[in-house]
Amino acid sequence: MTTETRIPHFWKGLCCGLIGGLAGTAAKSAAEAIFPPRVHGEPEPPEVLAEKAAGHHLALSTRNAAGETIHWGFGALAGAVYGVAAEYYPASTERGGAAFGMALCAATHEGALPALGLAASPAEQSSREKSSEVATHVVYGVVTETVRSLLRRVL
C-alpha cells in the first residue's frame, strides 16, 4: 500500500479557496435570509464601512451595492487565504471548514468590526445576533471547504 503525498501549490490553493469563498458567501447570505443577525433595521457592517470610506451618507441603492461588493469581496478574499493555508497546513481544514468559519466569526464580529466601529461590541450584541453570526459563519466555512476540496481534487 503506497501513500501518495500531495505537493502544496500556492496558486491552486488560492484559486480553489477563492471560488470556495464565493460559494460560501452565497451560502452565508442564504442562511442569513433564514436566520438574520439584525432584525431591527440595524445597518450591515459592510454598509457602515462603505459610508465611512465615502465620508458621507450614501443613497440607499449606492449603500446597498457598496455593502454587497464589500461582503462578496471579503468572502472571496477570506476563502483565498484559507485555500492557501489549506495547501500548507492541512490541519486548518479540520471539522470540514466549521472551525475556519468560527475563527473568522471571532476575528471579525468579536474583534475587528467592533474595534473599527462597524458593529456593536460583543457585550452589546443580542444573543440572536451572536448565534446567527456563528451559525452563518459555520455555513460559510463548511461550504467554502467543501467547494475548495472538491476543486482541489480535480486540479
* Three-state DSSP string of 33-57: HHCCCCCCCCCCHHHHHHHHHHCCC
pLDDT digits (tens, 9 = 90+) for 80-92: 999 999 999 999 9
Considering Cα of 109, then 113, then 115, then 117, what sign does the dihedral take?
negative
Is the full-model pTM beyond 0.95?
A: no
3-state DSSP assignment of residue 116:
coil
**Measured distance CA(64)–CA(59) in Å, rounded:** 9
pLDDT digits (tens, 9 = 90+) for 126-135: 999 999 999 9
